[in-house]
């Protein structure tokens, strides 16, 4: 590509650390989650949410289980201010939930922020100012010392105003654009703020290390976080928080590695909504923990419902391949994948394990409100017999013989290929019924009688090409006798090659379903299925269906 020479690495390596985070292989406990959907997420929308929409979204976040929710920037607009006041005055904030508000380091903004919080039981005042080289040089044109003064003066003002208002107010500081800031300077300015606030066991302070713009690979960020964790003053009374954006597509990796490096708190959004490429997706992070046996302390058991509210209120759509939450993330179109999933589900149903280990499915879809039949096995021209058989068995109760599943599989794939579309389960079932079940042309059996005479003698009455006829023959069983009678009358060359049966429904109203395969003298195979309350009748229907398929084959 052209112009590559104008780009350079804008991040700063942390001073050498022990990289202790590399010794851990997974996040073993849930962090404190803080949703920033109503601030960072909302300001990224083409049409920001109105008051009613924000109130509904807030309730959803509470129901999911967030205990810290950043509700906005009260001094930025009347809508933001009114939202904060409505939550407080209408007593909409549960006692165990803390709201968080953002403020710049300017006195009139800090003053209005505390006014907005008047009467709030629990709140976090989130102070920030930009610290990166690019911001210092290009936006503020200030020295390091001047940038520190901005932060320290804001910290002092926050402390002064807290003393004027009743309520449990905690503090948070973010060196905005942390990833473009020299780690030594980020540490210096954070420690200067901490010296003002003097965190204590009963008054801990949050130091937030935002990936305002993603500039490096995740391990670089992890080293920066570890450096800060090891060198911050008052460390035992400081909560280190992460706030990653996704410019390089690494927000989840940044966050997980940052947690391994010592952070205890995460700010993010549902589905990753946020400026540019978005914030870190808290749902993905939480489900990553869940699928490794760690309780994320969030209720994500009905993802479709959360998706519906999110899409309606924000106007944003969840990508079909979004981890865990997209419509197609559990979908298997590949025949080999479908077969492996079907066998894995059967192995699990047989009681071999109570642990989840189904091939190609890192998560049980039912745990987040999804359905196997609708979400997992999807049928198109790439599908195979395993998936098609799985749908017929789980949705409709038909346990097809293996060779019959293969036969049906080719038929279904051909239909999908010619129509250039995915086939829904009902369409697959329709193809199965049309091609194999109770086929009554050109032969339609109307009556069958059996007599025990040197084996079983069958007298079969049937319509054949519009003519009512009767044929009699013997066999070593009822089905064999009917087969011989049909063969002797029609002159067709075939033999029964396979027969299976099972109950289609459980209980007194159960029906019998039978499957018959016949093979011609030239080796061609034909299948039929019969359904009836009587097992003998269902087997005869299956045989006749197979014979009709043979007689109707023009190939």
What is residue 431's predicted lDDT score, i.e. its pLDDT? 95
Which residue, among 34, 90, 432, has the nearest Cα to 244 in the 3D structure? Answer: 34
What is residue 219's predicted lDDT score, i.e. its pLDDT? 97
Residue 297 near residue 65 (C-beta atoms within 8 A): yes
What is the percentage of the chain residues whose pLDDT exceeds 90?
80
What is residue 159's predicted lDDT score, i.e. its pLDDT? 97
What is residue 374's predicted lDDT score, i.e. its pLDDT? 61
User: Strands 443-452, 265-268: parallel, antiparallel or unpaired by DSSP?
Assistant: unpaired
Task: In whole angstroms, give the CA distance from residue 378 to residue 375.
Answer: 7
End-to-end CA distance of the chain: 56
Per DSSP, the three-state class of 70 is: strand
User: Which backbone phi and psi does 130 adopt, to 5 degrees?
Assistant: -75, 140
**Residue 331: which residues within 8 A CB-CB, separation 6 or more?**
375, 376, 378
Q: Where does CATH 3.20.20.70 sit in the chain?
A: 9-301
What is residue 454's predicted lDDT score, i.e. its pLDDT? 81
Segment 99-111, tens digit of pLDDT: 999 999 999 999 9
Task: In whole angstroms, give the CA distance from residue 44 to residue 41.
Answer: 5
Segment 235-266, tens digit of pLDDT: 999 999 999 999 999 999 999 999 999 999 99
What is residue 466's predicted lDDT score, i.e. its pLDDT? 85
Query: How is residue 297 annotated by DSSP?
Result: S
The CATH number for 443-551, chosen from 3.30.160.270, 3.40.50.300, 2.40.50.140, 1.10.10.10, is 3.30.160.270
Query: How is residue 135 annotated by DSSP?
Result: I
What is residue 464's predicted lDDT score, i.e. its pLDDT? 93
Helix (H) or strand (E) run with residue 496 in it: strand 494-503
pTM above 0.95, yes or no: no
Residues of the chain scoring pLDDT < 70: 372-378, 380-385, 506-509, 554-555
Distance of CA 128 to CAs 152, 185, 458, 528, Å?
Answer: 11, 15, 91, 73
Task: In whole angstroms, give the CA distance from residue 454 to residue 451.
Answer: 9
What is residue 506's predicted lDDT score, i.e. its pLDDT? 54
What is residue 334's predicted lDDT score, i.e. its pLDDT? 73
Task: In whole angstroms, give the CA distance from residue 484 to residue 472.
Answer: 8
Count Cβ atoms within 10 A of the Cβ of residue 236 and give its class: 0-12 exposed, 13-18 middle, 19 or more buried. exposed
Helix (H) or strand (E) run with residue 541 in it: helix 535-551
Query: Which fold would CATH assign to domain 9-301?
Result: TIM Barrel (3.20.20)
Count Cβ atoms within 10 A of the Cβ of residue 25 and give its class: 0-12 exposed, 13-18 middle, 19 or more buried. exposed
Task: In whole angstroms, give the CA distance from residue 288 to residue 259.
Answer: 13
Q: Where does CATH 3.30.160.270 sit in the chain?
A: 443-551
Alpha helices in 243-384 (DSSP H): 251-260, 282-290, 303-314, 335-349, 372-375
């Amino acid at each position: 590509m052209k112009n590559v020479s104008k780009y350079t690495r804008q991040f700063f390596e942390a001073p050498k650390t022990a990289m202790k985070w590399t010794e851990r292989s997974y996040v073993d406990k849930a962090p404190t989650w803080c949703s920033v959907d109503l601030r960072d997420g909302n300001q990224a929308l083409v049409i920001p949410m109105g008051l009613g929409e924000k109130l509904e979204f807030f309730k959803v976040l509470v129901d999911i289980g967030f205990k810290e929710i950043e509700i906005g920037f009260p001094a930025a607009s009347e809508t933001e201010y009114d939202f904060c006041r409505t939550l407080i005055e209408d007593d909409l904030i549960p006692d165990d939930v803390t709201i968080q508000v953002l403020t710049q380091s300017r006195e009139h903004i800090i003053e209005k922020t505390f006014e907005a919080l008047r009467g709030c039981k629990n709140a976090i005042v989130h102070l920030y100012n930009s610290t990166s080289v690019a911001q210092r040089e290009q936006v503020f044109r200030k020295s390091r010392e001047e940038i520190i003064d901005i932060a320290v003066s804001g910290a002092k003002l926050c402390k002064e105003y807290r003393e004027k208002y009743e309520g449990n107010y905690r503090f948070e500081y973010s060196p905005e654009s942390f990833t473009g800031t020299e780690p030594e300077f980020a540490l210096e300015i954070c420690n200067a703020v901490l010296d003002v606030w003097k965190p204590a066991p009963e008054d801990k302070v949050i130091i937030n290390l935002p990936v305002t713009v993603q500039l490096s690979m995740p391990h670089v960020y992890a080293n920066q976080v570890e450096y800060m964790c090891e060198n911050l003053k008052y460390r035992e009374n400081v909560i280190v928080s992460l706030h990653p954006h996704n410019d390089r597509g690494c927000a989840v990796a940044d966050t997980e590695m940052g947690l391994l490096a010592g952070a205890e708190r995460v700010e993010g959004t549902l589905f990753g909504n946020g400026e540019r490429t978005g914030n870190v997706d808290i749902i993905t992070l939480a489900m990553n923990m869940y699928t490794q046996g760690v309780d994320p302390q969030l209720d994500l058991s009905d993802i479709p419902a959360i998706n519906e509210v999110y899409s309606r209120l924000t106007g944003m759509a969840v990508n079909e391949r979004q981890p865990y939450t997209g419509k197609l993330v559990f979908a298997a179109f590949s025949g080999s994948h479908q077969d492996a999933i079907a066998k894995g589900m059967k192995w699990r149903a047989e009681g071999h394990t109570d642990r989840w280990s189904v091939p190609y499915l890192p998560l049980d879809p039912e745990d987040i409100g999804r359905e196997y039949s609708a979400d997992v096995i999807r049928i198109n021209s790439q599908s195979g017999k395993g998936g098609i058989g799985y749908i017929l068995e789980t949705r409709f109760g038909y346990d097809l013989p293996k060779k019959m599943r293969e036969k049906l599989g080719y038929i279904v794939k051909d239909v999908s290929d010619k129509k250039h579309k995915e086939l829904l389960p009902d369409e697959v079932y329709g193809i199965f019924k049309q091609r194999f079940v109770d086929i009554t042309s050109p032969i339609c059996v109307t009556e069958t009688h059996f007599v025990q005479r040197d084996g079983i003698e069958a007298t079969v009455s049937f319509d054949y090409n519009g003519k009512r006829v009767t044929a009699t023959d013997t066999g070593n069983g009822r089905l064999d006798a009917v087969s011989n009678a049909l063969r002797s009358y029609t002159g067709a060359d075939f033999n029964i090659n396979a027969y299976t049966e099972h109950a289609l429904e459980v209980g007194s109203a159960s029906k019998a379903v039978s499957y018959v395969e016949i093979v011609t003298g030239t080796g061609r195979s034909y299948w039929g299925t019969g359904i009836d309350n009587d097992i003998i009748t269902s087997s005869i229907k299956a045989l006749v269906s197979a014979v009709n398929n043979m007689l109707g084959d023009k190939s």
